[in-house]
Structure 1
């Protein structure tokens, strides 16, 4: 039951993270283009601030539940006297997931800080540049997230 609960939390966290990126990148951003630049920057800043709080929790839940589930399977396998060989799909999931977490850290703690400073100072050009960088890295993370899901479905 604990394994199933952790797996559920793991999957729900991924849904929040990848689904949120898809929504922001494919729906919110294009719709916000119709707004004047200062209003668009404020909207995106405030939306991303809320979203990044959710993603921070999702990242922690994903990491903790993933490590626990892999550790549990490895422990049970070794206790049964068998060698633990992590499946290819899990390996891909771990490598890409950790890369996604690193990219999120860069977005959240470097690029979003630039956006926040620009919005606070009313520097539209700097804010637009920070938002463009965030958009690029979110797109990369979205592609990586889709690859993780594909690897999980196709290789596990």
Structure 2
């Protein structure tokens, strides 16, 4: 490989990893904010007001989660499939762990988006706030699991790359 091609490969890898990290920060940081900051503040509000805020927040957040998922998949698999650094086989073990966690997170997000979120929207539109609140609790449970998984993935990614695992 020529020096120019190697430099280009290093730059492409750096850009891919920067975008990958930003997408993870958007998704995990959004869950952290929603769960640990916004939710406790909204708990002090009346149910109808609290649910109306969530009805406005979720579509904006979910838009960014879809983008984050696309970027994470594109940057993660492109670095493996295009042979950056270790290639698809022979990569470090922590990358496999992050990939598994990420795929579980995506599956949980799909379940959240196409299940409880759709039910929440219908119940809210019908003015059935108790039912909407039930869906919101289910959403919160999935977000809690995904937040823990996302934080774990970040720790594995940073520690694994530093330890050479």
> What's the TM-score once normalised by structure 2's chain length?
0.87
**Are residue 47 (structure 1) and residue 57 (structure 2) matched?**
yes
* CA distances 1:6-28 after superposition (whole Å, capped 9, x unpaired): 11111000000000000000000
Please say if 1:128 is aligned against 2:133: yes
**Structure 1 segments of 4 or more deviating over 3 A?**
none
How far off is 1:34 after superposition? Answer: 1.3
- Output one character per residue of 1:61-81: Cα deviation in whole Å (capped at 9) or x when no partner: 10111000111236x757xxx
Q: Partner of 2:28 in structure 1?
A: 18
Please provide the CA RMSD for this pair.
1.5
Unmatched segments (≥5 aa) in structure 2: 1-10
- 5+ residue gaps, structure 1, are none
Question: How far apart, CA to CA, are the structure 1 residues paired with 2:42 and 2:86?
Answer: 51
Structure-to-structure mapping, 1:90-105, within 5 angstroms: 90-105=95-110
Q: Equivalents in 1 of 2:36, 2:83: separation in Å?
A: 37
Identify which of 115, 119, 124 aligns with 1:119.
Answer: 124
Pairs aligned (count): 151
TM-score (norm 1): 0.92
